Structure 1
């Protein structure tokens, strides 16, 4: 992916907010096509996600409570890329913290924008194989409410097609992984 090839012209900076995980800007801009207006944008450092696959072909997912949707979503392990951290380091840490697994074989699946209409967040997706179940339990952050779930690829695909609560980054990454796995 090529980033930053057609930046808009900043006419007026109106508002900035910097939070714990991301920032928020409101700016008056002139777009490359000449249109002018005020746009809001969530500024995010990016996220890393992995699709962990067990030796018997099951997928390791997490069921996680998400306050914004007031419920639990089925997701692949993922986390925010920390300052000066490579996305691969992020996901190696997150898989262990969220699931209690470590992967010994990794493959980069690609990257994609999560919601480019209002955010610059990029998700870096990886395939994680040759899993080792660690003896230490999950190491969750205080605000994380996560349960590990094992599913077959078919069961996950049916959950997605039936409209069950699976998040977009997991659906997109599952699609990317299909070219490397036989499911």
Structure 2
């Protein structure tokens, strides 16, 4: 037991959706007092840093309803039940970009918002890309535009706030710090 651990006394499910569920936990704090914690449960996700042979980064632009605006992002998606993250990353890359990786490497995993959610994102590096003949096969409710950009162009998109999400910012920093392009 960790000295800051909060012991769950009771969990009250509030909502169960296609992607997330929401619950309220009553917890016992380390000092003996009780508190409530609102928690979002998420199956986890993957994102892919995909690099072309000519050292461009593959990004996708899509509308994000929660923000009421489009964002430019690295290809990403949620894990299906029981799905291995590497297979999910390969699937998402192919669905969103029409590319299949010749080589896929796990880079890092991180929690997106640990104060209220258990979502973990597994980051993969995809290299030796091969264009798939049948092209994009995105989900029925997903509309994306493929972009292949230099690191300088990606950094300009960041300055323009077209890239505005943490996973993509993290991915660009990883590319730059590791001299991948």
User: Is TM > 0.5 for Structure 1 vs Structure 2?
Assistant: yes
Which string of whole-angstrom CA distances, capped at 9 and with x for unpartnered residues, describes residues 74-131 of structure 1?
1111111111111001011010001001110112110111111211100000110111
Q: Secondary structure at the match of 1:115?
A: coil
Change (3 A) 1:36 1:92: same
Counterpart residue number, 2:79 = 81
Name the CA distance, whole Å, in 2 between partners of 1:100 and 1:175. 24
Counterpart residue number, 2:100 = 102
Q: Secondary structure at the match of 2:155?
A: helix
Tell me how large the CA RMSD over aligned residues is: 2.0
**Which residues of structure 2 form unaligned runs of 5+?**
none
Counterpart residue number, 1:176 = 174
Alignment length, in residue pairs? 180
Q: Does 1:150 align with 2:141?
A: no
Change (3 A) 1:118 1:102: same
Paired residues of 1:109 and 1:177 also in contact (CA < 8 A): no
Name the CA distance, whole Å, in 2 between partners of 1:167 and 1:17. 25
Paired residues of 1:41 and 1:119 also in contact (CA < 8 A): yes
Shift of residue 70 of structure 1? Answer: 1.1
| TM-score of the two chains, using structure 2 as the length reference | 0.90
Q: Secondary structure at the match of 1:69?
A: coil
Paired residues of 1:103 and 1:128 also in contact (CA < 8 A): yes
Once the two structures are overlaid, the 10-residue window that deviates more, 15-24 or 170-179, is 170-179
Name the CA distance, whole Å, in 2 between partners of 1:37 and 1:110. 33
**Which residues of structure 1 form unaligned runs of 5+?**
none
Counterpart residue number, 2:126 = 128
